[in-house]
Amino acid sequence: MKFVRQSRRFGVISEPNVKPLATATLFNAAGNNVYGVALGWLAYETTGSPLAVGAVLGMRPLTMLCVGLIAGAVNDRFHRPLILRLYALWYTLLSFGFTSLLYLGNVGLGHMLVYMFLVGVGFTFGPTARRAIYADSVSRSRVVDALAVDRTTFELGHLIMPAIVGVIISTYGPEIAFTVQCGLYSTMTFLVFRVSTPRRAVDPTLRPPFLRSIGEGLGYVRAQPGILRMLFATSTLALFGFAYPLVPVVSGELLNAGATGVGAILAGGAAGGLIGPILLLALRGRVSSLTALVAGGMAMGVGMTVFAFSPSLAVAAGAFAFMGATGPASKAVSDGYMQLAVDPAYRGRVGSLTQVTRGLEGLSAFLAGGIAQVIGVQGALVFAAVITVAIAVWLLVTFRRYGVDGW
């Protein structure tokens, strides 16, 4: 019987659209690692300025903060599979265009900033549509399972690609790395064209003007205390979950492990990120979603504290793997709540607010650096750990009354 229950839980892969969506996410995440690794290196090689590196890599989350509400309204007004296809085509065309500039030798800092801005625009629309399509496609009891599968393939893409991209850049140059990205995004585009859902019947005469539609979405969220609490929690965790930006400081100042240590710690986090969603799938039905979310927050706080005081590189990598396991699983649970608690007509607008909160992760790097400058890297990590645990306790105390069917 135990085997049967596990088979049914992982059988969500056979639900409509789950397999092409999750596989497309794998290729999307793998392709994203190309610009994540290559553009940081290229910006520093071109300018010699750490500030330029920060500006290039911070452009995407900044764009997400600016465009998020618009993306949500678009997702609720148009057919979501169409939006996902346009997103995939947008990424693919951008990749081919930037790759062509690299081969022509005409890439400067301005080109990188524009490229990352345009990537950020697309990134604001695509994941919002993808999460809503999962909720539109599977039964309510399997929405969290489907999102956990999506997080698994996302983390798998991040696990296997950074090292590969680094080898390609050092051996053949960034042009070849971006050529690989063209192939990855083309495969993603092929897969999302296999995704389909019934078109929603919307009377055009009843569709409000665009700006009023955004206002209606915000008004809907204000009237939903459960959604408001979840957005507050995810926003706070995004802003203060800043262990990642402090990895180079921990490796260099506390462990004297240099760049090798950075790589080992990040590899541990990537491995944990793959394990977390799989563990969530295995435990679904045994523990409630709220318990999983609260336990994830508390575990993240413990992991950050251990990471701050790690006596060796092995312990630091293990702590980062522990944190890596909790983060993606918690996101799958919180995303599931946002999809299940909202009226389907508002899924795009509410989902876009989730995407906006993740844009705060770009600001967390600046916050982490400022706090570490004042109270030291260990103090900064402990400060973040205390806030993370406090949010988890707050959810445990206040959120029980806001559970929804299927979550």
With contact defined as beta carbons under 8 Å apart, do 300 and 326 qualify?
A: yes
d(CA 186, CA 180): 10
Query: Which DSSP symbol is given to 207?
Result: P
pLDDT of res. 207:
66
DSSP for residue 209: P
List Cβ neighbours of 365 (8 Å cut-off, separation of 6 or more): 54, 58, 242, 244, 245
Ranges under pLDDT 70 in the chain: 1-10, 49-51, 53-54, 200-207, 259, 263, 358, 362, 365, 405-407
DSSP classification of residue 245:
G
Return d(Cα 98, Cα 237) in angstroms, integer.
Answer: 34
pTM above 0.85, yes or no: no
Helix (H, G, I), strand (E, B), or coil: what is residue 287?
Answer: strand
Pull the structure tokens for residue 12: 């969500």
Report the C-alpha gap between 154 and 270 in whole angstroms. 10
The whole-chain average pLDDT of the chain stands at 84
Query: Cβ atoms within 10 A of the Cβ of 107, count?
Result: 20
Q: What is the pLDDT of residue 134?
A: 92
Name which of 125, 122, 126, 142 is nearest 134 in CA terms: 142
* CA atoms of 342 and 407, how far apart (whole Å): 12
So what's the pLDDT on residue 283?
Answer: 78
- Taking CB atoms within 8 Å and a gap of at least 24, the contacts of 231-235 are 231/353, 231/354, 231/357, 233/334, 233/391, 233/394, 233/395, 234/331, 234/334, 234/354, 234/357, 234/358, 235/357, 235/360
Residue 383, helix vs strand vs coil: helix
Secondary structure, 3-state, 138-199: CCHHHHHHHHHHHHHHHHHHHHHHHHHHHHHHHHHCHHHHHHHHHHHHHHHHHHHCCCCCCC
Identify which of 239, 220, 195 has the alpha carbon closest to the alpha carbon of residue 61: 239
Find where tokens 């890596």 sit: 324
Give me the domains of the chain, ranges plus CATH numbers: 15-194 (1.20.1250.20), 210-407 (1.20.1250.20)
Kindly report the length of the chain.
Answer: 407
Query: Identity (one letter) of the amino acid at 287?
Result: V
Q: What pLDDT, on a 0 to 100 scale, did the predictor assign at position 378?
A: 93
Residue for token pair 């465009």? 67
User: Looking at residue 284, what DSSP letter applies?
Assistant: B
What torsion, rounded to 10 degrees, do the Cα atoms 70, 225, 328, 164 define? 10
Q: What is the pLDDT of residue 100?
A: 95
- Asked if residues 192 and 84 have their Cβ atoms less than 8 Å apart, the reply is yes
